[in-house]
Amino acid sequence: MSDVKKMYINGEWVPSISGETRNSINPANGEVLAAVAEGAEADVDTAVIAAKEAFYEGPWGSTPAQERAALLFKLADLIDANGAELTELETRDNGKPLREAEYDVADAAACFRYYAGLCTKPMGQTYEVADPMQAMTVREPIGVAGLIVPWNYPLLMGTWKIAPALAAGNSIVFKPSEITPLSAVRLFELIEEAGFPKGSANLVMGAGAAVGARMAEHMDIDKIAFTGGTATGRKIMTAATGNLKKISLELGGKSPCVVFEDADMDAAVDWALFAIFANQGQVCSAGSRLLLQESIHDEFVEKLVGRTKKIKVAPGDAEGVEMAAMVSEAHMEKVLRYIEIGKAEGATLQCGGVRLMEDGLDKGFFIAPTIFTDTTPEMRIVKEEIFGPVLAVQKFTDDADAVKLANDSIYGLAGGVFSENGTRALNFIKKLRAGITWINCYHPTYSEAPWGGYKQSGIGRDLGTYGFDEYTEVKQININLDPGPIGWFEG
């Protein structure tokens, strides 16, 4: 085990004030990867003081957009230069396959470049109003932004918030998941190497109940951005009312993947596998509900189950691995409990449903990819977010029934539809109450396009210009081009 990984506050690497640490565990074998500083409320307070000073009194608050862009471009280059190391860290700390971690690292660099380019682009409007006035708007940074991200995409989810927040000129206090902090530590080492001013970017690690809760309620944090579970999102929303801070929340999902009878079946099977089993199903937008038209249900399920049984489950760095470990033992146990719930509710287990213990997997946290059929809308495995490799298959009769079933959820994050009839597919998507949608594919994500959901899947958007706007305030400026008295009062 290496030395304790420290937090980064005000340009310095520091232990937690309490001296407490937490072990980071490799989910593929249960081994301790590193001891990590375990922060608490006092550490957040220290970081916020540094961030506030950097924004209001230090150089960061007055750093021109061109200089912010240069720093972000340099950081992107450093991510590329250290890509192999970051990829290995993600796989060891999170458990995901190397090939998925490689995509995440490349996407992170691309995201920093996107926002580096965006922050120097036009950001305001001018208005033709009554003479002699000129009216305009400008976008300005909000101030101190608190950023909280989950464990399923540690580096990439962090980037989705850090890049636009810094590009817009905010100072940040960043909290990674306490389960997967290692790539965040390395990222902040690269932030330091890139030359960001002290206090502009601060890293505080620790449990959500302590660090995250303090960030949400802190009176000197002006903006909170959170990705994670809906229950936690509600708590953050409540805590944020203390100073009415700006909030953006990207929360849970139970997203439908809908296949009509006129779809290319083999292609739809392939995408349906990717929709639910990529990243071990630990994806907020996972296609965890598969809706099949009755006429193709049996044939589709037969093909899907056949291919699912061939998925290679192994440690993330194993040759040919297709699905790897769950992020932690506790999360594995949660998913296994949902599988037992599904069986108890009367759903038919078509494959999987067990912890994998053979071939050296007994020390890690592996679950066989799992498919349930004969489900009904009221079942918990259909209604609740499992966040694992568990697919619930539903039948529908016609287009109207498909829309009704797809929208029968408290969530509205994502959804996909497969049909060779473009009109049918687009009509379905227009009726789907979800923020991220796909036709004849599932999961493609782009830094240029907004990411977020309807209903209880959240508030606001990450990525694209929408994600940048989340970290800005709009200021109206009115200029009198003919200065002089207004003459409103005669005296």
**Structure tokens given for 214:** 């303090």
269-287 burial string, b = 16+ CB within 10 Å, else e? bebbbebbbbbbbbbbbbb
- Please report how the helices 182-194 and 154-167 are oriented relative to each other, as an axis angle in degrees rounded to 10: 30
Q: Which positions are annotated as active-site residues?
A: 250, 284
Query: DSSP strand E in 294-413: where?
Result: 348-351, 370-373, 390-396, 411-412
CB–CB of 16/43 below 8 Å?
yes
Residue of 37, 44, 30, 2 whose CA lies nearest to 16: 37
**Structure tokens given for 371:** 């498919």
| 179: DSSP letter | T
Handedness of CA 458, 281, 160, 31 (dihedral sign): positive
Residue of 256, 260, 288, 276 whose CA lies nearest to 412: 256
Percent of residues in the chain assigned helix, strand, coil, to nearest 5:
40, 20, 40
Q: Name the β-bridge partners of 9.
A: 12
End-to-end CA distance of the chain: 81
